[in-house]
Structure 1
Amino acid sequence: MGATGTGKSPAEIVNSDKMQVYKGLDIVTNKVTEEERRRAPHHLLGFVDPNVNFDSIDFRRHASIAVESIVRRNRLPIIVGGSNSYIKALVNDDVEFRSKYDCCLLWVDVSLPVLHSVISERVDKMVEAGSVDEVREIFDPKADYGRGIRHAIGVAEMDRFL
């Protein structure tokens, strides 16, 4: 939000969530909805094969390309997500990126009781939306839950249930 002329409209989102980069599990990874994507273009969302490991170096390479494309079109890139290692790799570890762009980092903080309440409500909504069926589709009792999208919170936890 902001006053007229502050640059809200020409913004594009660059996803920096470690699990949302993967194709699939849209409910479990809490990807933005199609309606939300229509409000602002999103990049690096659901484009990686779910069985491949995508690390901070991969993110840095893809995010740099996305940001460059957005800036070339005179739009504002906003990097959004909770994976601090991805942000660190881009902003702190990439000297070229740091020399080209000024960055403003915003950290959203909330008290633990409020956070727990919000997360509990979110999980209930995810279950209602079909997260169990979504995980069932990729269920494999021999799967490596430390690789790819199976590393998402909630997937390994459903193993015993499934």
Structure 2
Amino acid sequence: MTEHEGEKAELEGKKPPLLVLVGPTAVGKTALSLSVAKAWNAEIISGDSMQVYRGMDIGTAKIKQDERDGVPHHLIDIRDPEESYSAADFQAEAAKTIMDIAGRGKLPFVVGGTGLYIESLCYNYQFADRGSDEAFRAEMEAYASANGPEALHARLAAVDPKAGERLHPNDIRRVIRALEVYHTTGQTFSEQQEGQRKKSPYELVLIGLTMDRATLYSRIEARIDEMLQEGLVDEVRRLLARELPPSAVPMQALGYKEIARYLRGECSYEAAVELLKRDTRHFAKRQLSWFRHMKDIHWIDAGENFRNKLEAIHGILAGKFQDHLEYTSNQSFLDGGSGQ
């Protein structure tokens, strides 16, 4: 038996370990995740619904290849913008990746901010066929096109306030799906989610990063300014040149939808940037709301200095994963990084 086969055999009969780091956009997940991954012999699985798409790099704050510092990253650049990708797709592919990483004696480490994707993976949500109605879906798409995403979102909020709170108006695809669930089953999407068994198939550790709201908003605005300097407008222009339909996921993505309006002449550059900053602040608020509804999250103040955050995470992990993995050393962990 090879060493790889032996490690896989050891996993049989017990839950594989899974570390998850969540938090709102711009809170500092990426830099922290690299230090944690190097210290705990981990491989990172992206938990971001937009980073799966090739060519969507700047607007999704996708980590560059030369910034990964030797840490393997998974579920990034696995779809073309024309292709669909769902929470069920993510759950299936991430679960397979987790078993592969754990089977090689490493720690699977999910990092991201897409609440539904991460929660469905952590607790093995069952994505049974809830029924579909193509005519209803087309009707809702036409309604959104004619009246705007906010009007469509208001229809969802009226029948399913919890889903309305969690889903952004610009997330037209998921808003329509939530309305379709109610239309076809008579049960709200939130009721179906709450009915899921909240029992994890993993030896799970959930860590959440939070931050003073004013500081977070300032970081969001600074990040958007940096994205624009890096060429976000040209990135959106290249996507528009692919002639994707307006309902395509990338065209509804935060950062792309707003800049696309400017490029189509629907608003000024300054108005598009202001809209993007506003929408991103709202998005961060919704992310925090989603994660605060999840149980078992160990919250860490991301405003702490880098060493303090590393020490806090080490304290959380030391008693949980020591049996699974050989921790590199306390000193190497604390020396693993110095910035956000």
TM-score normalized by the length of structure 2: 0.43
| Sequence identity (%) | 34
In 1, distance between residues paired with 2:229 and 2:245? 26
In 1, distance between residues paired with 2:73 and 2:93? 13
Aligned counterpart, 2:118? 87
Please say if residues 145 and 151 of structure 1, whose CA atoms lie closer than 8 Å, have aligned partners that are also in contact.
Answer: yes
- Among residues 55, 58, 64, which one is paired with 1:33 in the alignment? 64
Partner deviation per Cα, 1:32-54 (whole Å, 9 max, x = no partner):
11122243100001111212221
Structure 2, unmatched stretches of 5+, are 1-31, 127-198, 264-340
Q: Hey, which of these two has a bigger chunk of helix by percent?
A: 2
Change (3 A) 1:132 1:35: same
Shift of 1:105: 0.6
Shift of 1:143: 4.5
Shift of 1:88: 1.2
Aligned counterpart, 2:100? 69
Please say if residues 145 and 156 of structure 1, whose CA atoms lie closer than 8 Å, have aligned partners that are also in contact.
Answer: no
In 1, distance between residues paired with 2:248 and 2:113? 19
Shift of 1:159: 2.2
Runs of 4+ in 1 over 6 A off after TM superposition: none
Aligned counterpart, 1:13? 44
Q: Which has the larger radius of gyration?
A: 2
Over the aligned positions, Cα root-mean-square deviation in angstroms equals 2.3
TM-score normalized by the length of structure 1: 0.86
Shift of 1:146: 4.1
Shift of 1:137: 0.6
- Among residues 224, 234, 237, which one is paired with 1:136 in the alignment? 237
- Among residues 225, 228, 234, which one is paired with 1:127 in the alignment? 228
Partner deviation per Cα, 1:79-119 (whole Å, 9 max, x = no partner):
00000101111111348x933x2011111111221111001
1:158 corresponds to 2:255: no
Aligned counterpart, 2:207? 106
- SS of alignment partner, residue 39 of structure 1: coil
Change (3 A) 1:134 1:52: same
Please say if residues 21 and 44 of structure 1, whose CA atoms lie closer than 8 Å, have aligned partners that are also in contact.
Answer: yes
Please say if residues 7 and 76 of structure 1, whose CA atoms lie closer than 8 Å, have aligned partners that are also in contact.
Answer: no
Partner deviation per Cα, 1:12-45 (whole Å, 9 max, x = no partner):
0000101111111200111011122243100001
Aligned counterpart, 2:311? none
Please say if residues 236 and 256 of structure 2, whose CA atoms lie closer than 8 Å, have aligned partners that are also in contact.
Answer: yes
User: How many corresponding residue pairs?
Assistant: 156
In 1, distance between residues paired with 2:102 and 2:242? 45
Structure 1, unmatched stretches of 5+, are none
- SS of alignment partner, residue 31 of structure 1: coil
Q: Which has the higher contact order (CA 8 A, sep 6+)?
A: 1
In 1, distance between residues paired with 2:235 and 2:247? 18
